[in-house]
Chains A and B, each alone.
Chain A
Amino acid sequence: EDKVVQSPLSLVVHEGDTVTLNCSYEVTNFRSLLWYKQEKKAPTFLFMLTSSGIEKKSGRLSSILDKKELSSILNITATQTGDSAIYLCAVVKPNNTDKLIFGTGTRLQVFP
C-alpha cells in the first residue's frame, strides 16, 4: 500500500533556529513530490520536486528530493513566528488522476 511518512510529527523551536523536516515515501510509480504549508485551512503550495538532487529554493525555505532513498527534506533557516504551521508532504502518482497521497504532516511551532 502506498505510504508517505513525515517526521517529526511536531517540532517546537525559537525564532532564528534552523529546522529540517523529513518526508519518506513508499509509492509505486512515483512521479513528483510536493510540499505544502497549512496555517489554518487551505494548504498553500511551496515546492514541487521531480528530479533527484536538485534543490528548490524560495527565500529561507529549500527542499531536496532523494529518489534513491525515497525521501525529501524541507529546510527552513532563520525561522520566524510566521513559519508556524503544519507542513504537508504529498506524492503524486503518474496515473490519469494525479491524486495526492499525503503524509500526516509536521506541526512546527516557532516561539519568539
Chain B
Amino acid sequence: DAGVTQSPTHLIKTRGQQVTLRCSPKSGHDTVSWYQQALGQGPQFIFQYYEEEERQRGNFPDRFSGHQFPNYSSELNVNALLLGDSALYLCASSELGQNRGYTFGSGTRLTVV
C-alpha cells in the first residue's frame, strides 16, 4: 500500500523563477493538503484540494497556486520565487470528513538562491 509520494525531493531555484511540486496521495485518499515548513517552524497550511477544487486557503499570497487531477494527485505551483519561499513543502492526504488523520509525504526541500 503506497503512502504519499512527493517529487522532486530537493530543488534549487533562483529568485523570480517558478516551481512545480508534485504529490500522489495514499491509495484510497481523495483529499490533498499542502503545507510549508520553514526551518525551525511547524508546518503552515497552504491550501487543500478535494474533487479537483481548492476548498480552503491559508494565509499565502496568490503566487501559490495548485491543482488536483482526476486521479487525486496534486501539484503546487509557486511563481516569482522569493528567498523566503525556501522551505520544506509537505503534502498530506486524507479521506475528507473521516477524521482519521493525515498521511504525510517526505516533502520537497526547496531552496531559493
Taking beta carbons and an 8 Å cutoff, which residues of A are in contact with B? 4, 6, 31-32, 34, 36, 40-45, 48, 50, 88, 90, 92, 95-105
Given A102-B35, A104-B40, 4 extra CB contacts under 8 A: A41-B109, A96-B97, A99-B58, A104-B41
**Residues in chain B near residue A97, CB distance under 8 A:** 33, 48, 55-56
Identify 22 residue pairs between A and B in the complex whose beta-carbon atoms are under 8 Å apart, listed by A's number: A31-B99, A34-B101, A36-B104, A42-B90, A43-B43, A45-B101, A45-B102, A45-B103, A48-B101, A50-B99, A88-B42, A90-B42, A96-B96, A97-B55, A98-B31, A98-B94, A98-B96, A99-B45, A100-B35, A100-B92, A101-B45, A102-B42
The answer to whether A96 touches B104, judged by C-beta atoms less than 8 angstroms apart, is no
Among residues of B, the one whose C-beta sits closest to the C-beta of A47 is B101
The answer to whether A99 touches B48, judged by C-beta atoms less than 8 angstroms apart, is yes
**Residues in chain B near residue A101, CB distance under 8 A:** 45
Given contacts A42-B90, A42-B104, A45-B101, contact A99 B56 (CB under 8 A): yes
In the assembled complex, the Cα of A92 lies from the Cα of B96 at a distance in Å of: 12
In the assembled complex, the Cα of A92 lies from the Cα of B45 at a distance in Å of: 12
The answer to whether B102 touches A41, judged by C-beta atoms less than 8 angstroms apart, is no
Among residues of B, the one whose C-beta sits closest to the C-beta of A88 is B42
Given contacts A45-B101, A48-B101, A97-B56, contact A103 B90 (CB under 8 A): no
The answer to whether A100 touches B90, judged by C-beta atoms less than 8 angstroms apart, is no
The 4 closest A-B pairs by CB, nearest first: A102-B42, A97-B56, A42-B106, A41-B106
In the assembled complex, the Cα of A100 lies from the Cα of B99 at a distance in Å of: 11
The answer to whether B43 touches A92, judged by C-beta atoms less than 8 angstroms apart, is no
The answer to whether B42 touches A105, judged by C-beta atoms less than 8 angstroms apart, is yes
Q: Which residue among B35, B40, B97, B101 has the maximum number of chain A CB atoms within 10 Å of its CB?
A: B101
**Residues in chain A near residue B96, CB distance under 8 A:** 96, 98
The answer to whether B45 touches A100, judged by C-beta atoms less than 8 angstroms apart, is yes
**Residues in chain A near residue B111, CB distance under 8 A:** none
* Cβ-based interface call for B81 (8 A): no
Among residues of A, the one whose C-beta sits closest to the C-beta of B92 is A100
Among residues of A, the one whose C-beta sits closest to the C-beta of B42 is A102
